[in-house]
Amino acid sequence: MAALASLARLADFALPPRCPGCGEVTAADHRFCAACWGRLRFLGPPWCAGCQLPFDYDRGEGALCGECLAKPPPHDGVRAAVAYGDVAREVALKLKYSGRLACAQTMAHAMTRLMPDDAELLVPVPLHRWRIWSRGFNQAAVIAGALSRAQGVALDAELLRRVKATPVLRGLGPRGRAKAVAGAFALTGNAKAKLAGKAVVLVDDVHTSGATAAACARVLKRGGAAKVILLCWARVLEGETLD
C-alpha cells in the first residue's frame, strides 16, 4: 500500500491536475482555474416553469417564458449546468473532437446539482452509427455513464437509437430543424417495458435549438415515459452562437 501511495504521489507530481478549460495547473482534478471559473455562468432558478430557460429575476411560481406560453414543449424542461460560452465551448470540444474523456466527468460533476430528485432512468441522446464509427464514441453516453456512477441512477445507452442521419441544424429555421429530425429517433424492441411510467433524464452535452431534445422526448413519451427532462452541460442562450 505504501508503494502504491508513493506511485500516486509521483504521478500527481509528474501529471498534475489541470484546468479543463485552459490547461493551467489546479489543486484537484476537474477543478477550473480562477480565470476560467469566473467566465463560467452557472444556471439555475429562477427559470421558466416549462423549459427552465433562466430568468433575470423571479417572476413567481409557475411563470412561463414566451415560447412555452405560445407552444409548450414536449419535454418537461431543460436543465443545463452552465451557459454556452468560451470556457464551456472549450470543454465540450475537447470531449467531442479531441477524445478527452475526462472532460465528461468534469461536465457530470457540474450537472449533478440539477439531477431531478425523481430520476429513474438516464438515456443519452444517441448518435447515428456513422458518426460513432468516425468519432469512436457518443459523448452524451460517456457523460451519462459518469452521471450514473456518481448518482446511482440506472443508465440505458441502447434504449433510444438514431435511425436516420441528420444534417447540421445550425442555420436552419424552426421548421427546417423540425423536418430534419422528424423520424430520426426510434426505440429498441423492449424499450416500452423499461420506460413504462418512468421519470427519464435525457442526457446531452450542449443544448442549442431544442429540435433534437423535442424529437427524442416525443419518442420516449410515446414509449410510455411519464416525464422527460433534458440534462446537459451547456445551453446556448440568446446572443450566443456555436462558432
Sheet holding 121-124, edge to edge: 78-83, 227-235, 199-207, 121-124, 154-155
pTM: 0.89
pLDDT, position 146: 97
Going along the chain from its start, the domains and CATH numbers come out as: 1-39 (no CATH), 41-235 (3.40.50.2020)
Which pLDDT band holds residue 196 (cuts at 50, 70, 90)? very high
pLDDT, position 6: 42
Q: Which residues contact 130 (CB under 8 A, 6 or more apart)?
A: 165
Distance CA 175, CA 2 (A): 62
Q: What are phi and psi of 232, to 5 degrees?
A: -140, 170
Other Cβ atoms within 10 Å of 75 Cβ, number: 25
Mean pLDDT throughout 186-193? 92
Query: pLDDT tens across 124-182, in order?
Result: 999 988 888 888 899 999 999 999 999 999 999 999 999 887 756 565 566 767 677 77
Range among 36-40, 189-193, 207-211 with highest mean pLDDT value? 36-40
Query: pLDDT tens across 69-93, in order?
Result: 999 999 999 999 999 999 999 999 9
Cis amide bond preceding 124, omega within 30 = no
Other Cβ atoms within 10 Å of 42 Cβ, number: 12
